[in-house]
Chain A
Amino acid sequence: MMNYFKTGGVILAALLCMAGCATQKSYVVLMDNADGTTGKLAVSGKGGEVLLDKPRTAAALDGKAAAPFAVDENAIKRDFGPALAAQPILPVSFLLYYKTGGTVLTDESRSLIPVVLEAAGKYPAPDVSVIGHTDTLGDSAANEVLALQRAQGVAEIIRSAGLQVHDLTVASHGEKNLLIPTPDNTDEPRNRRVEITVR
């Protein structure tokens, strides 16, 4: 009797899968981001376009533009387990701030450098980018140079720390990429910064 039910259950599951899985040959699933937010996906083909905006909903990739369907944890693990497990550590960014008009870090930012170096050490083949910024005080061309000097200074700290960096790129955004929008000739400590990204 027990065996009969068990067999019946397996057959039922197989039938359900045939109905549900047949449409899931090729499909895309929208997932939530690490910060809890969710974006959107547009899936288009010959039959039109489907928009996905709820996490764990999916669209078939057959071009027929059928309605989205829900995907459960088991299906995600079954189909995407190895792809999920192979995810590299997500990139991380740090901001270092400067005293006005020069390349001297604030005391607080100086003390953040060991934290940056420790984080970078955790990445396989660390790929580091350093981007310098200024506030809008003074001449734009001079700020382009100052931002570069700031970035180079940070790059030098990273190099001299003996960190095995796989790739290191340095760039200047001058006063053209303000964190806090201000008019020209404005002293704004939060804009005097270097952004370090470790990938």
Chain B
Amino acid sequence: MRHGITAFVLILALALPGQAGEIIGFVKTVSGSAAVVDAGKAVPAKVGTPIKMGNTLQTGPGASLGVTFKDNTVMSFGPDTELTVDEYFYAPGADKLKFSSSMSRGTLQVVSGVIAKLKPKAVTVKTPSAMIGCRGTRYLVKVDP
């Protein structure tokens, strides 16, 4: 019983939104050399590698990467790509919804999730010269700096 309660408290803690270091998604597909940069430290991306707010996702030449976020947003990256998750808040109960990212190079597919559905304009991808705002859809981005 005590174990059950501990597990339950742990699960509750994981489910609380907006906490620092909170996991917002996981790597689901990877091919070739790809990395998740967390607090300046690059970790090789593997299936199951957690993603947190502030992380940068990178793929090398010939590599690709796929990530599924907690709000069901699905992103996949082609080779030589770099994207940083600037802000990610998924707490519909508290009306705290935001998913903003910056992409400096490469190719990306986004299948938008619950955040885009609940709060149009809360989902953005910033590129060196333009800003993309998404209202519930699938889209492709190429940045050739």
Q: How far is the CB of A63 from chain B (nearest CB, A)?
A: 4
Q: How far is the CB of B63 from chain A (nearest CB, A)?
A: 8
- Are B140 and A43 interface neighbours, CB within 8 A? no
CB of B14 within 8 Å of the partner chain: yes
- Are B29 and A83 interface neighbours, CB within 8 A? no
- Are B130 and A124 interface neighbours, CB within 8 A? no
Evaluate whether A79 and B107 lie within 8 angstroms (CB atoms) in the complex, with A44-B131, A87-B29, A124-B48 already known.
yes
- Are A91 and B68 interface neighbours, CB within 8 A? yes
List the A side residues contacting B138 at CB < 8 Å: 31-34, 39
| A99 CA / B14 CA spacing, docked (Å) | 29
Evaluate whether A170 and B144 lie within 8 angstroms (CB atoms) in the complex, with A39-B112, A124-B28, A197-B72 already known.
no
Of A82, A87, A170, which is in contact with the most chain B CB atoms at under 10 Å from its CB?
A82
| Residue on A nearest B47 in the bound complex, by CB | A124
Residues of B in contact (CB 8 Å), total 56
List the A side residues contacting B136 at CB < 8 Å: 33, 39-40
- Are B64 and A82 interface neighbours, CB within 8 A? yes
Residues of A within 8 A of B (CB): 24-34, 38-46, 59-63, 76, 79-91, 123-125, 127, 129, 152, 155, 166-171, 173, 176, 197, 199
Additional 6 contacts, C-beta under 8 A, given A42-B132, A76-B140, A87-B76: A24-B142, A31-B138, A61-B141, A80-B140, A91-B74, A176-B93
Pick 16 A–B contacts, CB within 8 A, sort by A.
A26-B129, A26-B130, A39-B136, A40-B137, A43-B132, A44-B130, A61-B127, A61-B132, A82-B78, A82-B107, A83-B107, A87-B66, A91-B74, A155-B11, A170-B11, A199-B68
Residues of B within 8 A of A (CB): 8, 11-12, 14-15, 23, 26-31, 47-48, 64-68, 70, 72, 74, 76-79, 81, 93, 107-109, 111-113, 116, 121, 125, 127-145
The 9 closest A-B pairs by CB, nearest first: A39-B137, A88-B28, A125-B48, A86-B64, A83-B78, A39-B136, A82-B78, A86-B76, A42-B133
